[in-house]
Amino acid sequence: MSLSDITCETAPEPKAARTSRVGLIVPSSNTTMETELPELFRRQSEATGQRYTFHSARAGLKQVNREELLAMVGKAGDCARAVSDADVDVIAYACLVAVMAQGPGAHTGSEEVIASAARENGHPAEVTSSAGALVRTLQEMGARKIAMVAPYMLPLTQMVREYIEGAGIEVLDAISLEVDDNLAVGALDPHKLPEIARDLKREGADAIILSACVQMPSLPAVQVVEDEMGLPVITAATATTYEILKALGHTPSITGAGGLLAGAYTTAAAGRG
């Protein structure tokens, strides 16, 4: 067989009925977002029959420090163009601190860059970011005071705190696990999070952010902590999932991951899927 006999695909295959394509832009060392989100959407599929596929673009990041985070931001447009080649329905920029390192409210600009790149590439898509999803979800839930757990070194945790407070939400307490290697963050044991969360000063809190990082595993602990503490519990991953579902017009119907994804705070009707 010669090369002339080979037919190459020049465009993505048409989507099957009741199937949504989700594009992710993730740090190159991320090992969690592409495991927790598919599991969450598997549960959504079980409840609704809607199918979801995932398509990722990766931007270089090894150490979670300000310099590498800002360098990653400059790659967002290229990543958006690459992942939009798959004709995805929605793109999620899944690096919370890379956006927050740019200063309060930076998610708006980052999401516009990604949307513009996908549109100019001929495959427009809805866009969210983990940073934007976290603050918008808290606002939608009516949370004015929160406590949070983050894996970062203290200066980055403080930066996240200031970003959230810049959105009008008071951070009563923040526990910093002080891990700077991104692979090490992904290896943290989520089953230790309930014990860690018990140390949070949460009197007066409206919600808990159990993982203010898409790389820190947390899914097995979300429902446990919510049930134990009697407060809404979200993570960067669950907030991003919530906004992806909203962008697709799908009602959250996910069990075992907190009230947010079970539909407790849904304000918009769904079903365009």
Round to the nearest angstrom and report the end-to-end CA distance of the chain: 42
Alpha helix positions (H), 33-105: 33-48, 66-73, 76-84, 96-100
Side-chain-side CA neighbours of residue 29 (13 Å): 17
Alpha-carbon span 218 to 63, nearest angstrom:
20
Q: What is the DSSP string of 136-147?
A: HHHHHHT--EEE
Q: What is the DSSP string of 59-73?
A: E---B-SHHHHHHHH
Alpha-carbon span 104 to 102, nearest angstrom:
7
Q: Which residues are annotated as a binding site for substrate?
A: 30, 95-97, 152, 182, 214-215
Burial of 171 (0-12, 13-18, 19+ CB in 10 A): buried
What phi and psi values does residue 24 have, to the nearest 5 degrees?
-120, 135
Residues acting as catalytic residues? 95, 213
Alpha-carbon span 173 to 181, nearest angstrom:
23
